[in-house]
Chain A
Amino acid sequence: MSQVSEEEKAAFRQQVAAWMQANKPADPGFLLPQSFMEVGSEQQLDFLREWQHKVWSAGYLGMAWPREYGGQGVDPVFQSIADQEMRRHAVPICFNVIGLGWAGPLINDIGTEAEKARYLKGILTGEDIWCQGFSEPDHGSDLGNAQLRARRDGEEYVLNGTKIWTTMGNFAKYMILLARTNPEAERKYDGLSFFLAPMQVAGVDPRPIRKLTGEYGFTETFFTDARIPASCRMGEEGQGWKIAMKTLQYERGAEAGAAGGLAFVRIAIDDMIAGLADVERDGAPALQDPAIRDQLVQMIMEEKAVVLGDRRAAIGPLTTDYPFSLPLSNKLRFTESTRRMRQLAINLQGADGGLYVGDEGAREGGFWQRAYLNSFSATIGGGTSQVQANIIAEHILGLPK
Chain B
Amino acid sequence: MSVIGNTALRFSEDQAMIMDVARAFCADRSPMASVRALLESDAGFDPAVWQEMVDMGWPGMTLPEALGGAGLGVAAAVPVFEAMGRSLLGGPLMASLLAGQLLLRAQVGNAADNALLAIAAGAPATIALLDSADWGAERIRCELQDGVLRGVKQQVLEAAAAEWFVVVAQEHNAPVLAVVPATAVAPAVRRDHVLIDATRRAQSIDFTGIQVSEEAVLRGPAVASALRDVRLMGALLLAAEAGGSAASCLDTTVDYLKTRKQFGKLIGSYQALKHPCVDILMAVDSTRSFVYHAATLLGEDALDTDAEIACRMAKAQATETLKYAGDRAVQFHGGMGFTWECDAQLYLRRAQWVQQAFGDAPHHRKRLAELLLDR
| Residue of A whose beta carbon sits closest to that of B86 | A321
**Counting chain B CB atoms within 10 Å of each CB, which of A268, A294, A297, A298 scores highest?**
A297
> Are A399 and B288 within 8 A (Cβ)?
no
CB closest chain-A residue, reference B266:
A400
Q: Point out the residues of chain A lying under 8 angstroms from B139, CB to CB.
A: none
For B3, list chain A residues within 8 Å (CB). 269-270, 273, 300
Q: Does B184 contact A (CB under 8 A)?
A: no
Q: In the complex, A354→B16 CA distance in Å?
A: 52
Instruction: Report the stretch among B45-53, B65-73, B130-138, B267-275 that lies at the interface.
Output: B267-275
CB 8 Å contact bits of B263-297 with A (1 = contact, 0 = none)? 00010110100110110011001101110110000
Q: How far is the CA of A330 from the CA of B206 in the complex (A)?
A: 51
User: A90 → chain B, closest Cβ, in Å?
Assistant: 13
Flag if A318 contacts B288 (CB, 8 Å).
yes
Assess the A322–B289 pair: CB atoms within 8 A. no
Q: Does chain A have a CB within 8 A of B344?
A: no
**Interface of chain A residues 285 through 301 with chain B (CB within 8 A):** 287, 290, 293-294, 296-298, 300-301
Q: How many angstroms between the C-alpha atoms of A386 and B9 in the bound complex?
A: 30
Q: Tell me the dominant secondary structure on chain A's binding face.
A: helix
CB-CB under 8 A from B290, the residues of chain A are 301, 304-305, 308
Q: A317-B16, A399-B274 are in contact. Are A392 and B366 (CB under 8 A)?
A: no
B372 in contact with A300 (CB, 8 Å): yes
* B15 contact set on A, CB distance < 8 A: 317
Query: In the bound complex, how far is the Cα of B281 from the Cα of A390, in angstroms?
Result: 13
CB distance from A296 to the nearest CB of B (A): 6
Q: Which residues of B contact A318 (CB under 8 A)?
A: 11, 288, 292
Task: State how many angstroms separate the Cβ of A129 from the closest Cβ of chain B.
Answer: 34
Return B360 CB to nearest CB of chain A, in Å: 12
- Among B9-65, those with CB < 8 Å from A are 9-11, 15-16, 19-20
Contact A309 B275 (CB under 8 A): no
| B317 touches A (CB below 8 Å) | yes
Looking at the assembled complex, report how far the CB atom of B368 sits from the nearest CB atom of chain A, in whole angstroms.
Answer: 5
Binary contact track A230-243/B, C-beta < 8 Å → 1, others 0: 00000000000000
Q: Are B11 and A268 in contact (CB under 8 A)?
A: no
Q: Does A187 belong to the interface (CB within 8 Å)?
A: no
B316 interface contact, C-beta 8 A: yes
A293–B9 Cα gap in the complex (Å)? 26
Closest chain A residue, CB of each to CB of B254: A397
Chain A residues with Cβ below 8 Å from B288 are 312, 318
Say whether B4 contacts A294, CB under 8 Å. no
Is the Cβ of A399 less than 8 Å from the Cβ of B373? no
B2 interface residue (CB < 8 Å to A)? yes
Report if B258 contacts A (CB, 8 A).
Answer: yes
**Interface of A toward B, CB cutoff 8 Å:** 268-270, 273, 287, 290, 293-294, 296-298, 300-301, 303-305, 307-309, 311-312, 315, 317-318, 321-322, 325-326, 329, 332-333, 386, 389-390, 392-393, 396-401
Which residues does B use to contact A, with CB under 8 Å?
A: 2-5, 7-11, 15-16, 19-20, 247, 250, 254, 257-258, 266, 268-269, 271, 274-275, 277-278, 281-282, 285-286, 288-290, 292-293, 313, 316-317, 362, 365-366, 368-369, 372-373
- 7 inter-chain pairs at a CB distance below 8 angstroms, sorted by A residue, are A308-B286, A308-B290, A311-B289, A317-B20, A333-B282, A390-B271, A398-B258
